[in-house]
């Protein structure tokens, strides 16, 4: 499965600080990655993207981001492997945001508002954390 990323996320993915991505649910028969699926991580123009890294899906789960930018914000993930995690403390939210490639929770909230114009979101989180990434160094240098 191929997943596209903005330029700002290429560095954090390649250096291992961004270990998952949040996506909207797909309509129809299209599906997101499942545990064990190969992942191609790409950047660039839609019709001429460059795959800068390859990895494997280590987990996926249903995610809800509630109240982004408010003091009662929380992130809830029902991982498909069976565990359920809720981040509702400042430390937990910061940690989650950093694993998603942001400088912190405030950065994630600002990005989400700029791109999606919402403070609440439900979708899927796809993780490659814990699995080695094969980085195309030439492509990485072109986008970082």
Render pLDDT for 74-84 as a digit per residue (tens, 0 to 9): 999 999 988 99
Q: How many CA atoms lie within 13 A of 138 on its CB side?
A: 1
pTM: 0.90
Sketch the domain layout of the chain as residue ranges. 2-143
Rounded Cα distance, 120 and 117, in Å: 9
pLDDT category at 144 given cuts 50, 70, 90 is low
């Amino acid at each position: 499965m191929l997943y596209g990323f903005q330029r700002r996320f290429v560095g954090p993915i390649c250096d291992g600080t961004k270990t998952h991505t949040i996506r909207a649910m797909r309509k129809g028969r299209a599906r997101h990655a499942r545990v064990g699926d190969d992942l191609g991580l790409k950047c660039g123009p839609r019709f001429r993207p460059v795959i800068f890294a390859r990895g494997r899906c280590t987990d996926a789960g249903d995610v809800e981001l509630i109240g982004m930018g408010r003091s009662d914000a929380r992130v809830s993930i029902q991982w498909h492997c069976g565990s359920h995690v809720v981040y509702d403390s400042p430390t937990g939210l910061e940690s989650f945001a950093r694993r998603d490639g942001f400088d912190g929770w405030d950065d994630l909230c600002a990005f989400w508002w700029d791109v999606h114009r919402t403070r609440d979101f439900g979708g899927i989180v796809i993780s490659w954390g814990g699995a080695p990434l094969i980085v195309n160094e030439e492509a990485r240098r072109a986008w970082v």
